[in-house]
Amino acid sequence: MATTAPAPARSRRRAGTLPGERSLVASPSTWFVWAGMAVFLVFLLGILVTVVVDSFGKQWFDTWAPVEWTRTWYSGAWDRFELGQVIGVTVGVALAVVVISVLLGVPASYVLARRSFPGKKLVMGLFLLPILMPPITYGIPLATVMYAFGLGRTVAAVVLVNLVPSVPFVILTMTPFIEQINPSVESAARMCGASIRQVFTRVLAPLLIPGILAASILVLVRTVGMFELTFLVSGPGSDTLVVSIYRAMTSAGGGEARQLISAMAVMYTVTMLVILVVALRFVNPTQLVARVKESRDD
């Protein structure tokens, strides 16, 4: 599908263009791009399909497909790894992180977008650092502190460590978003006698909703997929889904049956897909950077 799609489009383009005019990227390089993408998609689909096939297969060693099919791996994995509880923790942690990081981040990004004050650059730099640093760099000292405070292996610790990159992330995505809202809208509301709180709840909030949704969804996806930080502080009872899959894959003595892990991985991907599909109905991730009019030669 993907590789056959351009052909009609190209011929249609050619009919519409002037004689002697060439497309933006000449055709050999275009075909090179398509070939590269085809390889990428083959790998991608291969990875996805093999995991799904594996999770339904009874025995699969040296044949093209499993000899027998079964659905027992799913119920097996569910009972074996207490997935009901794990998924509950994952969803709970993710929602808590989203709500708290929006509550902390949006007011801060409002100030950073609208005001200039002494030390603003320093504050901005402070918010940028947790995103630029590799998670392990601050994760290990942070986890050491958490264990010292007796918070290790608790759900609270998992929420806290995930907030460290999420709050700056919300600030950095929301600041340009707020900057592009015309400040005279707020001034007009103030002129008409609205208090600061009313400006926030009645004027700004409705304008900010799309940006907050986009940032929340990105934070949600990041938190559900976050491995490094969660892994450092979680334990039995506070593992999220990714961490339990990793633990199952690396458990001592050769580990669990491969199909059990495949079944878990499929459940993880389905969860993520549901989140993303719901998310993409509301937001366009590329909207976060200001957009200009659509390309004219479209």
Partner 1 sequence: MSAPRSTASLRHRLAERGIDPLLMLVLPALLFTIALFVYPFAYGIGLTFQPTAATVQKWGGGVFANYLAFFGDPFVRDSVWITMRLAVPAALFNVVLSVPVAMVLRRRFRGKRLLSSMLVLPITLGTVLTAQGLLIFAGRQGWINRALEAIGLIDEPLKLVNNYLGVMFSLIITGFPFAFLLVSSYLSGIDPSLEAAARTLGAGWWSRFRKVVLPLLAPGLATTFILTFVLAFSVFPSARLVGDPGGTTRVMALMAYRSFGEQLDYPMASTIALLMGVVELVVVAIVFAWRSLLYKGSTGGKG
Residues 201 to 260: which contact partner 1 by CB under 8 A? 221, 225, 227-228, 232, 242, 245-246, 249-250, 258
Cα separation, 44 vs 288, in Å, equals 26
C-beta closer to partner 1: residue 103 or 188:
103
Per CB under 8 A, 151 contacts partner 1? no
Q: Which of 254, 256, 237, 229 is nearest to 245 (CA)?
A: 256
Q: How many CB atoms within 10 Å of residue 43?
A: 10
Cα separation, 31 vs 54, in Å, equals 34
**Which of residues 111, 194, 207, 213 is near partner 1 by CB under 8 A?**
111
Cα separation, 51 vs 184, in Å, equals 54
**Considering only residues 62-101, where is the footprint of partner 1 by CB under 8 A?**
62, 64
Per CB under 8 A, 265 contacts partner 1? yes
Per CB under 8 A, 144 contacts partner 1? yes
Per CB under 8 A, 199 contacts partner 1? no
**Which of residues 141, 183, 236, 237 is near partner 1 by CB under 8 A?**
141
CB of 144 to partner 1, least distance (A): 5
Task: Name the burial class of residue 104, with classes exposed (0-12), middle (13-18) and buried (19+) by CB atoms within 10 angstroms of its CB.
Answer: middle
Q: Which stretch binds partner 1 (CB under 8 A): 45-53, 76-84, 89-97, 185-193?
A: 45-53
281: part of which helix (H) or strand (E)?
helix 258-282
**Which of residues 17, 50, 75, 195 is near partner 1 by CB under 8 A?**
50
**Under a CB-based contact definition with an 8 Å cutoff, are residues 249 and 265 in contact?**
no
| Backbone angles phi and psi of 57, in degrees to 5 | -90, 145
b/e sequence 222-231, b meaning 16+ C-beta within 10 Å:
bbbebeebbb
C-beta closer to partner 1: residue 188 or 273:
273
Q: Which stretch binds partner 1 (CB under 8 A): 2-10, 66-74, 85-93, 208-216?
A: 2-10
Q: Which of 215, 243, 255, 10 is nearest to 102 (CA)?
A: 215
**Which of residues 155, 238, 268, 283 is near partner 1 by CB under 8 A?**
268
Q: Which stretch binds partner 1 (CB under 8 A): 60-68, 70-78, 91-99, 201-209?
A: 60-68
**Which of residues 35, 41, 99, 278 is near partner 1 by CB under 8 A?**
41
